[in-house]
Amino acid sequence: MPLSTSSSTLPDDRRTVADNTPGFMPADEADALHRVADRFLSEPDSVGIGVEIGTYCGKSTVYLGDAAQRHDALIVTVDHHRGSEEHQPGWEYHDTTLVDAHAGLLDTAARFRRTMFDARLEHTVLGLLAPSTAAARVWGRAVDFVFIDGGHSMEAAQNDYDGWATWVRPGGALLIHDVFPDPADGGRPPYEIYRQALDSGQFTEADAHGSLRVLVRR
């Protein structure tokens, strides 16, 4: 199931919104994510729901939301909006413009809402403001895909995998971002959970684009 089987593309107005949104996903990988989401949400046995773990300001969510809107589906995007390890003061990706002066902590929730407003996706994308582990405890239904792009510590990646991979329907997809087989190219935790998914025997690799991996549930 190569990614090229779907020819869907993000409209120019929404691409502009995504391009102007803080985030770290390369455009070519975001386009691949869009095609994958479109594919799984359009299948005959689709349940009409995709989940994203790790919202940040909503850059990749625009791509997912656009694909979902085409099929009258929904995207649930989960984030505590306090930033991952690399977003904290003193780290490379800390953005002082996203700090809540009242709490003295990063708060990306308002920027995410602005992104969804500008992209006209407020009725398609449901923002779940909670840690991934807490949200997983109250979740209770199958989904067409889970896209894991949250914290990159081993604990965070493991929690995302343990809490959410189980909800992918048979024939649905587990999508993992920032998978780098060579340690010199990037952090290991996303690669480690990717290997766990394959070694579990529940998922098979269907495709890859850059650091994005597409695994299909048996």
Give 106's strand partners: 99
Q: How far apart are CA 32 and CA 25, in angstroms?
A: 11
- For the beta sheet containing 49-53, the strands, ordered from the edge strand earlier in sequence to the opposite edge, are 125-129, 74-79, 49-53, 143-148, 168-176, 212-217, 203-209
Q: How many helices (H) and strands (E) does the chain have?
A: 7, 9
Q: Which of 63, 61, 69, 73 is nearest to 172 (CA)?
A: 73
Q: How far apart are CA 39 and CA 7, in angstroms?
A: 9
Q: How far apart are CA 31 and CA 110, in angstroms?
A: 25
Q: Confirm whether 152 is a catalytic residue.
A: yes
Q: Which of 127, 140, 145 is nearest to 67 (CA)?
A: 145
Task: Give the active site residue among 80, 81, 152, 209.
Answer: 152
Q: Which of 195, 174, 160 is nearest to 79 (CA)?
A: 160
Q: What single-letter amino acid sits at 101?
A: A
**Active-site annotation, residues:** 152
